Amino acid sequence: MTLKKKIFFAVGPFAVAALFIVALLYSPLEFIKEPSEKKVHEAASSMSVNVLKGSEIKREAMESGKYLPFFGSSELSRVNPFHPSVLAKKYDRSYEPFLLGAPGTQSLTHFFMLNSVKKPLENKKVVFIISPQWFVKKGVSDPMYSLFYSPIETYEWLVDLDETDQTDQYIAGRLLEFESVKSDTQLKKMLLKVKNGEELSKADRRKAYYKYKRLKNEDLLFGQIGIVSKNKRIDKQATYLPNQYNFNELDALAYKIGQEKTNNNPFEISNGFYSNRIMPMKGKLKDSQKKFNYISSPEYADFEAFLELLAKNNIDAMFVIPPVNKLWSDYTGLSTEMLDDFSKKINYQLTSQGFNNIVDFTDKRGEKYFMEDTIHIGWRGWLEMDTQLQEFLKSDSKPDYKMNPELFFSKEWQTEQYK
């Protein structure tokens, strides 16, 4: 065998395979079917990273009109009998929650998730759970943002940009703070232009479109792999509930379950969480949160970008502000006065711009079994949220937004206390 033939047989198959993959990623891929109803149902409760970072399954879910988006973070993973997915399943609600969040997701990630499904959600309703713990000095950390950074949703946003406004400029500047974004030199150049208010050239738009198209095809090919649904857990939790909905009966049951599930510690924290997360380092946690401050944070501006997107698409949102377990905050020294100030500040940001559907549980910090652990909504908390949600969904009132980006993107608002 000649040397040329040896080289051909050695690298030929790999070259052909590479060409095939490249052709596949840039082809129309019309032969691939959209996600099935079963796959979308599995994805709705999965909180899988590939679902959150992808676009096809979320788009299919929102276009179906069967799903109610719940934007949030780690609290969505606490599946007990009163979790929104369980109550919707048990009592045959007209919607199924689609959980758009995971531990570590914050407003900037939510902005891109909402942007990718804004068209099917136009004039509809969503739920957004705000965690005070997001509002730390530097906002979302680089590792956490990178974990949920979605190139496909970022390029989709760029492809759709016509004239850049203040929100676009803010988002571009914010993205350029993260290593995972800056490592894409092509994207970095385009973001710098948007940040500076410059128009993208035709060449930029062409490059962005082809990158988006390739990422979209990757999502179609691989986005449905490895989804682990929570549906079995949801079905099991639903068996603990009575067949007929009765708030007082359910509240008594939530109290009883909460009491049973938190009986190994004085903080009314679920036994498993306490044993695994608190006990190993308990001594180090006393008075450890005395200096925590949720008043000064870039998260306020990230959150404003999400609000701007809601307003532009006339989407109505119910905002939920969870409390912090008072027994725990007394132990760690976390200031309840500071938490009250956080509540005032975020309420002003919402109500002054016309976002009036707010379920603020800040003053529920001392209610028994309202929380499941230190900061996550628990048995009685989910149930009370559910009653507010049903009223929100019934309401025919239309939002009337009066946005004020000059104030809420400003450094002053991000860093100063609201008085």
From the first residue on, what is the mean pLDDT of each consecutive set of 10 residues in the chain (419 residues)? 60 55 57 82 96 95 98 97 98 98 97 98 98 97 96 97 94 97 96 96 96 92 88 98 98 98 97 95 92 97 98 98 97 97 98 98 98 97 98 95 97 91
- Coil, helix or strand at residue 233: helix
Give residue 286's pLDDT: 95
Q: Look-up: residue for tokens 């679902």?
A: 51
Beta-carbon contacts of 335 under 8 Å, excluding residues fewer than 6 positions away, are: 290, 292, 329
**Residue listed under structure tokens 């891929």:** 29
Residues 307 and 115 sit within 8 Å (Cβ to Cβ): no
Contacting residues for 305 by C-beta, under 8 A, at least 6 apart: 107, 108, 111, 167, 170, 171, 174, 409
Are 136 and 152 spatial neighbours (Cβ–Cβ below 8 Å)?
A: no
Main-chain phi, psi angles of 68, to 5 degrees = -105, 115
Q: What pLDDT sits at residue 339?
A: 98
Q: How far apart are CA 400 and CA 391, in angstroms?
A: 19
Query: What does the alpha-carbon distance between residue 70 and residue 87 come to, in Å, rounded to a whole number?
Result: 14
| Backbone phi and psi for residue 414, each to the nearest 5 degrees, phi listed first | -65, -25
pLDDT at 224: 84
What per-residue confidence (pLDDT) applies to 19? 54
Q: Give the per-residue pLDDT at 418.
A: 85
User: What CA–CA distance (Å, rounded) separates 132 from 135?
Assistant: 6
**Contact partners, residue 38, CB within 8 Å, separation at least 6:** none
- pTM of the model as a whole: 0.92
What integer pLDDT is reported at residue 177 of this predicted model? 97
Q: Please identify which residue in the block is written with the tokens 């203040």.
A: 166
Structure token pair of residue 361: 């549980």
DSSP H helical segments within 319-395, as ranges? 326-332, 336-351, 379-394
